[in-house]
């Protein structure tokens, strides 16, 4: 019976200590506005003039061109 109590206390101590290790208060202060969002386009043309035209057309709402 004594071993069951000791094992139960050890398990509860591990659970409580691991929850403190996983908690990061700095993560609560970040908002979605701080995280970068990548919106991209893919280019499948043949010339640089076609690529420049596509970039100029989509430069207001994309930040990644593949």
3-state secondary structure of 18: helix
- Nearest CA to 40 among 54, 24, 21? 54
Task: State which residues of the chain have pLDDT below 50.
Answer: none
Looking at the DSSP bridge assignments, the partners of residue 64 are 40
pLDDT, residue 31, reads 58
What does the buried/exposed string (b/e) look like for 33-59 if buried means 16 or more CB atoms within 10 Å of the residue's CB?
Answer: eeeeeeeeeeeeeeeeeeeeebeeeee
Q: Tell me which residue range forms the domain holding 47.
A: 2-65
Dig out the tokens for 39 from the structure.
């919106």
Rounded to two decimals, what is the model's pTM?
Answer: 0.42
pLDDT, residue 55, reads 85
What total of structural domains would you count in the chain?
A: 1
């Amino acid at each position: 019976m004594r071993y069951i109590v000791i094992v139960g206390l050890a398990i509860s101590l591990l659970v409580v200590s691991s929850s403190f290790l996983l908690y990061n208060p700095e993560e609560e202060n970040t908002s979605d506005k701080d995280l970068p969002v990548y919106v991209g386009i893919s280019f499948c043309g043949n010339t640089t003039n076609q690529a420049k035209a596509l970039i100029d057309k989509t430069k207001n709402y994309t930040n990644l061109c593949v």
